[in-house]
């Protein structure tokens, strides 16, 4: 008898989102509320930072962290160092950790923005980096470094950044790096249900079991 694998299509974990503290459209509380209504069990708020706003962003997010308890959703406060010179990435990651960031997502070498070459390499060689976002046409060497340093590689639903999802999924699967699916949400319309996340993973070339692993299992490591 043929047994068809049916993945869980319930709750969603999204580890890469933005608020008005950087270039998003929503207050942190509104983002959390909308995510809860979508059935999310956890959300990472990871606003764009450089050295000019790192402290203020984390200070503000800490004030809103507990709001998730009201709606039964875990809120992880984090940052996304963005367009940083590769030589400065380690410094800002270290500072972010000291300031209490629970999640560090580095803005990778997406094809649609002028991210400095070497950003992927700098991020994947740091154990304190949790996720390399939309890493574009990432090299074999950087995927190997991500695997060795337990840096997750992102498959994204974000328009433009998603152009290289297939390449990222193929490389990570071949080499054994960990994948996660995130929205990189900036507006209410960017939040997605788990079924869409599974479709995005499948569209990147993963089979049903691989997609289920990426959506349901891999993000759990970041939850309390």
What is the structure's pLDDT at 10?
54
pLDDT computed for residue 224 by the predictor:
80
Residue 215, in any domain of the structure:
yes
Does 1 map to a domain? no
Instruction: Output the pLDDT for position 7.
Output: 42
pLDDT tens, position by position, 84-129: 999 999 999 999 999 999 999 999 999 999 999 999 999 999 999 9
Query: Is 123 inside any structural domain?
Result: yes
**Residue spans of the chain under pLDDT 70:** 1-10
- Buried residues in 141-151 as b, exposed as e (16+ CB within 10 A): ebbebbbeeeb
The model's pTM is 0.94
Residue 176: which domain range?
Answer: 12-222
Separation between Cα atoms, residue 47 and residue 210, nearest integer Å: 29
Is residue 152 assigned to a domain?
yes
pLDDT of residue 8: 42
Helix (H, G, I), strand (E, B) or coil at 107: strand
pLDDT at residue 22, as a whole number: 98
CA–CA separation, 73 and 151 (whole Å): 24
Where residue 106 sits, what CATH number does that domain have? 3.20.20.140
- Whether 103 maps to a domain, the answer reads yes
Is 6 domain-assigned? no
Predicted pLDDT of residue 11: 79
Q: Is residue 5 part of a domain?
A: no
Assigned domain for 2 exists:
no
- Number of domains present in the structure of the chain: 1
């Amino acid at each position: 008898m043929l047994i068809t694998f049916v993945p869980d299509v319930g709750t969603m974990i999204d580890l890469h989102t933005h608020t008005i503290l950087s270039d998003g459209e929503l207050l942190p509380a509104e983002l959390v509320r909308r995510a809860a209504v979508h059935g999310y069990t956890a959300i990472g708020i990871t606003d764009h930072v450089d050295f000019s706003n790192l402290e203020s962003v984390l200070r503000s997010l800490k004030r809103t962290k507990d709001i998730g308890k009201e709606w039964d959703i875990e809120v992880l406060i984090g940052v996304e160092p963005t367009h940083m010179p590769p030589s400065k990435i380690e410094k800002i990651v270290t500072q972010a950790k000291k300031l209490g960031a629970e999640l560090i997502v580095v803005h990778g070498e997406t094809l649609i923005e002028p991210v400095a070459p070497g950003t992927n390499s700098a991020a994947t060689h740091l154990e304190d980096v949790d996720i390399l976002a939309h890493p574009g046409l990432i090299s074999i060497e950087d995927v190997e470094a991500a695997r060795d340093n337990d840096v997750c590689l992102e498959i994204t639903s974000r328009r433009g950044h998603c152009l290289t999802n297939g390449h990222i999924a193929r490389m990570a699967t071949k080499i054994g790096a960990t994948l996660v699916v995130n929205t990189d949400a900036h507006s209410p319309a960017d939040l997605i249900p788990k079924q869409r996340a599974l479709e995005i993973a499948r569209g990147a070339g993963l089979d049903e079991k691989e997609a289920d692993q990426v959506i349901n299992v891999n993000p759990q490591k970041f939850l309390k």
